[in-house]
Amino acid sequence: MSSRPTHRAFSLIEAVACIVTLSIAVPACMFPLRDAAAARVDALQVERAAALMAALTDTILADAASADGALGFGAFANSNLYLHSARAGLHRRIQPITDVYAEHGLTYSVSIGPLVSATGVATGDPDRDVYRWIGLAARWRTSKGTDAELASGVMVCAP
């Protein structure tokens, strides 16, 4: 009786074939994982931008309703003063909030439009033109290196 081994070992050719196969397959499997991770990061940035926009909107609505002499609907008439005043400027007052988002690469802008009617168009009638459109935009760079923007706004009216 001959005793032949029933288990065969890997040959060098089989080992090389296995290594070549893995070196081709593993990177190809990693690309979808990388893309999925990048998509999650981009989705998180959109959520951060939306939260920043909500904070800006809430602050602007509170300012429009404020009884403070430096705030209120009248403060929007001089947008430069409203946004950049050393004492009560919007940018200075919300800096602790926006700094958190800036650490994640988000920037924002606020633009205050002229007096308009409820339809969003200026009529020239001071009794009807009692609204202002305040435009908001948050910007960031995506994981692919392109610029992205989330734009929004709020219509405020005179009391």
**pTM score of the predicted model:** 0.76
What is the predicted pLDDT for the residue at 132? 94
Each residue's pLDDT tens digit, 115-132: 999 998 999 888 899 999
Residue 134 has a pLDDT of: 96
On average, the pLDDT of the chain sits at: 88
What does the alpha-carbon distance between residue 74 and residue 6 come to, in Å, rounded to a whole number?
Answer: 92
**Per-residue model confidence as pLDDT tens digits over 58-79:** 999 999 998 887 788 999 999 9
pLDDT at 10: 66
- One DSSP character per residue, 97-153 reads HHHHHHTTT-EEEEEEEEEE-TTSS--S-TTT--EEEEEEEEEEE-TTS-EEEEEEE
Task: Give the C-alpha separation, 59 to 81, whole Å.
Answer: 16
Burial class (CB in 10 A: 0-12, 13-18, 19+), 119: exposed
Indicate the residue type of 22.
L
**What is d(CA 69, CA 108) in angstroms, rounded to the nearest whole number?**
26
Residue ranges of the chain whose pLDDT lies below 70: 1-10
Residue 8: the pLDDT is: 66
Give residue 3's pLDDT: 65
- Gyration radius (Cα) of the chain, Å: 29
